[in-house]
Amino acid sequence: MKTRAVRLYGKEDLRLEEFKLPAITADEILAKVVSDSICMSSYKAAKQGTGHKRIPAGVDENPVIIGHEFAGELIEIGDNWKHKFKAGQKFSIQPAIYYEDGPVGVLSAPGYSYQYIGGDATYVIIPKDVLVQDCLLAYYGPGFYPASLAEPLSCVIGTMHANYHTTPGSYIHNMEIVAGGKMAILAGVGPMGLAAINYVIHRADRKPKLCVVTDIDQVRLDRAASIYTVEEAAKRGIELVYLNTAIENPVEKLRRISGDTGYDDVFVFAPVAPVIEQGDAILAFDGCLNFFAGPSDQNLQAKLNFYNVHYAYTHIVGTSGGNTDDMKEALDVMTKGLDPAGLVTHIGGLNAVPETTLHLPQIPGGKKLIYTHKDIPLTAISEFMEKGKSDPFFAELHRICTRSKGLWSVEAENFLLANAKDI
């Protein structure tokens, strides 16, 4: 079968190409990709080439398919996996896997490390590495884009699970955020911050009583507040506060909101030293600072208060993605009604992937959602109305999204899949 895919040949060298996939083996599955969400990690991989930890040497001759937040349908099942999967099943993939290379496992991932699997393709071959590690996950919810966004949501879920607190008089670490505690999400209205807010509000088993979300961009704060409202959070027992920290002495304001106790769980969503230091300054006794944002600067440093480390038991952790259990939880909560549409600000076709990936930091907004079988310029949802004045396709998308408060939706996705130009 032929596929079209965006392949990485080296630093800043992405090419949209058509090529033939080999026949699958008994330990492989042929799949159709429907949607892929472009991640900042793909930008980093494209910028760094083989300097990236997941990009193998020799991509100039054996290019890899990029994209790792994808969903689609299974087409043909290898004989050894027919007991578990069936054709027509919807799927998502947990991409952060290891493959065996002698005595040491090597960090590897679809979307970085393989010739025949990645999210920015029309058809892919799911390899044995993914299958034996239980990283091919069935999705039973509506649409495809929620399953594409399960991977970023799983990163947030993993972050919440990775936080820990101590028990006085023992060396036992209690994993998880403090139930009924105080939480701050700093620089928290980007795509991943929005995912965190969504999860915190809709999580069934553990919630903070106070959640303060900060940023220095009022427009982005207002958008977040319109999607995940204070009123909705209050119905679920959470006091949700949005705060613009472009003010004099934001630490004092944040501590005052906490009742001068500080915060049990602080999440930093920007790799910026002042934000990290701000997070450290607002920790409560036994507070846990989680540095979530992945930095490009290998020498990023920030000051921490080690007096508080010693006497107030403050501590820091870092997370870099979710595991398979986190992905399963993400897919489960979406099947039960959590809609990640608030993360999506742009849609596009496979043709838009190279330029979008290489310029991702310069493109405002949240997630850029790609429909891989379609030819659509990258377009912000906010631009649908203007484009609709001359294009009936975008006019109808605007009408559909207006019905869902300006957000992407399964209805919009279905219309796009039925009416957009094929690649």
Which phi and psi (to 5°) does residue 360 adopt? -55, -40
What band does 100 get if pLDDT is binned at 50, 70 and 90? low
SS3 string, 350-376, reads: HHHHHHHHHCHHHCCCCEEEEECCECC
Q: Does the pLDDT value for residue 98 go beyond 80?
A: no
- CB 194, CB 220: distance < 8 Å: no
Domain 153-318 grouped into CATH 3.40.50.720: yes
CATH class of 2-148+339-350: alpha beta
What band does 354 get if pLDDT is binned at 50, 70 and 90? very high
| pTM tops 0.75, yes or no | yes
CA pair distance 395, 401, nearest whole angstrom: 10
47-51, 132-136, 337-341, 371-375 — most confident range: 371-375
pLDDT tens per residue, range 225-244: 999 999 999 999 999 999 99
> In the chain, which segments carry CATH 3.40.50.720?
153-318
249: which 2 tokens?
């002495």
CA pair distance 129, 27, nearest whole angstrom: 9
pLDDT tens per residue, range 52-74: 888 989 999 999 999 999 999 99
What band does 273 get if pLDDT is binned at 50, 70 and 90? very high
pLDDT tens per residue, range 140-182: 999 999 999 998 899 999 999 999 999 988 999 999 999 999 9
Q: Does the pLDDT value for residue 8 go beyond 50?
A: yes
pLDDT given for residue 320 in this prediction: 75
pLDDT given for residue 104 in this prediction: 41
190-194, 318-322, 370-374 — most confident range: 370-374
The CA-atom distances, in angstroms, between 156 and each of 34, 273, 419 are 23, 21, 34
Q: Does the pLDDT value for residue 221 go beyond 60?
A: yes
pLDDT given for residue 105 in this prediction: 43
pLDDT given for residue 398 in this prediction: 98
pLDDT given for residue 38 in this prediction: 96
CA 219, 220, 224, 230 torsion: positive or negative? Answer: negative
The percentage of the chain sitting over the pLDDT mark of 90, rounded to a whole number, equals 85
Average pLDDT in the chain: 94
